[in-house]
Amino acid sequence: MIKKYAVLLLLGAFALMLLPFVTEVTPFEELSPVAQKYVKDGPDELGSANLVSSVIVTYRGLDTLGEVAVLFIAAAGVGFMLRRRGDAKKPVKREASGILRSGTVFLFPLVLLYGIYIFLHGHLTPGGGFQGGVVIASGIVLLLLAGVSAKISGTVLHWIESLSGAVYVALGVLGIVLAAGFLDNRILPAGEFGRLLSAGAIPLIYSLIGLKVGAELVGIIDAMQKDEL
């Protein structure tokens, strides 16, 4: 009990310490200098209507590449941690209900399509590679839950994951060769502002990210659900 109160006391002190962040800070009155540049020049420089996307894919592209790497590492880590032993019994799973199964069959293509839509339009509308990838992965989770096709082809996932990652890096290098620097999206023409085929390589990169993220998340879920708990 004493321990609990001590912890609460500590947390109180901690909260007190954080207080200046709430009391002493006012919101931005106007955009920060960096943001101003992104908003003012971004649309013309990069051709993306979604300014967040232009920040994610180009201005702070290295973050995004790193983020893809983080997810990749986590997927590899989960796969590494949860190695299955050969002799482990397959967990007995409860049969999915009819509603879930029929619903899944109906919904899965739509979910997949929606995911692809999200990452393809990442430079125009809210969304992007990660969001799209997550949507795709959620579709596959649905499949797994419904037991429609419990076995996901590891090989295909691997290929998608590895190749999309490698091509992403290659596109980055192309940026050095064809444009101003690593991960510069201007290796493709900016196109007409607001169109699907515009914003240079952003849609392409987003697509690769979408595929990779989707594949990785599925990999994580796959590793976790095949292990007995």
Residue (10 or 110) nearer to other proteins, CB: 10
Among 113, 170, 196, 197, binds other proteins (CB under 8 A): 170
Report CA torsion sign: 124, 128, 133, 139.
negative
Among 135, 143, 183, 218, binds other proteins (CB under 8 A): 183
Among 144, 146, 204, 220, binds other proteins (CB under 8 A): 220
Choose the binding region for other proteins from 4-12, 94-102, 106-114, 140-148 (rule: CB under 8 A).
4-12
Residues of span 41-100 touching other proteins by CB under 8 A: 43-44, 49-52, 54-56, 58-67, 69-83
Residue (75 or 188) nearer to other proteins, CB: 75
Among 91, 109, 189, 194, binds other proteins (CB under 8 A): 194
Contact 161, 217 (CB under 8 A): no
Residues of span 100-119 touching other proteins by CB under 8 A: none
Minimum Å gap between C-beta 88 and other proteins is 10
Residue (39 or 113) nearer to other proteins, CB: 39
**What does the DSSP assignment read for 63-124?**
HHHHHHHHHHHHHHHHHHHTPPPTTPPPPP-PPPPHHHHHHHHHHHHHHHHHHHHHHHTTTT
Separation between Cα atoms, residue 182 and residue 188, nearest integer Å: 14
Minimum Å gap between C-beta 206 and other proteins is 12
Residues 118-147, one symbol each (x = binds other proteins by CB under 8 A, - = not), give: ------xxx-x-x-----------------
Separation between Cα atoms, residue 83 and residue 73, nearest integer Å: 15
Q: Rounded to whole angstroms, what are the CA distances from 169 to 86, 113, 140, 184?
A: 35, 26, 26, 11
Among 113, 176, 196, 197, binds other proteins (CB under 8 A): 176
174 in contact with other proteins (CB under 8 A): no
Minimum Å gap between C-beta 150 and other proteins is 19
Separation between Cα atoms, residue 53 and residue 58, nearest integer Å: 8
Separation between Cα atoms, residue 136 and residue 131, nearest integer Å: 9
**Which amino acid makes up residue 87?**
D
33 in contact with other proteins (CB under 8 A): yes
Minimum Å gap between C-beta 153 and other proteins is 14
Q: Rounded to whole angstroms, what are the CA distances from 59 to 92, 154, 169, 205?
A: 49, 34, 16, 14
